[in-house]
Amino acid sequence: DYDMYQSILAPVFQDYIMHAYTLRENLIFNHREHEQYIIDSLLKTGMNEKIQSIGLDRNYSRRFFKDGIELSGGEEQRIAIARALCKNTEILILDEPTAAIDPLAESKLFKEIFQATKGKTVIYISHRMSSTRFSNNILVLKDAKLVENGPHEELLKRKGIYSKMFQQQASFYL
């Protein structure tokens, strides 16, 4: 049932959309019913101070509104994540959600997200191996097949495809 899926899933795709509505409406359309989640989600994504200074009821888009605002790519990604957190669902799906966020901000953001979602399921899809350290269980897919799974340390010890990918990316930082 489509409505049931909508009620339990909150996806953040890498190709999110910012709408030409208010920032409040970009976070959650039925904001009157879920107002309490807005500030909390902005705090968790590090956007509260910025959005409070701009105003939640400020229109997004300079194309359609003279006084509209536009955010940087990283700030938009944080708003997309905050939007998912506002839904307060049981399952959060993050598909490469931090491509435009610097590594220090990304690390802090992940800590906040995973702290905020304790007891819930978070599915994180990424090619950035550093993000796997936040995961309890890692699933490695190749050619649409599950080839490895387990926690980070265990997968490193197996010296399989995960270990090779992790070591390859880590070599760029050494």
Please tell me the distance from the alpha carbon of residue 113 to that of residue 9, in angstroms, as a whole number. Answer: 15
Distance, in Å, from the CA atom of 28 to the CA atom of 117, rounded to the nearest integer, reads 18
Q: What is the predicted pLDDT for the residue at 164? A: 94
Beta-sheet pairing, 91-95 with 121-125: parallel
Across all residues in the chain, what is the average pLDDT? 88
**Which residue from 168, 170, 173 is spatially nearest to 160, judged by alpha carbons?**
168
Q: What is the mean pLDDT of residues 4-23?
A: 91
38-73: per-residue pLDDT in tens? 999 999 899 999 999 999 999 999 889 999 999 998
Return the H-helix or E-strand segment holding 41: helix 31-44
The pTM for the full model equals: 0.85
Give the pairing type, strands 145-150 and 9-12.
unpaired
CB 12 within 8 A of CB 82: no
Predicted pLDDT of residue 20: 92
**pLDDT reported for residue 108:** 80
Q: Which tens digits make up the pLDDT trace of 20-44?
A: 999 999 998 876 777 888 999 999 8
Q: Which residue has the tokens 């003279």?
A: 66
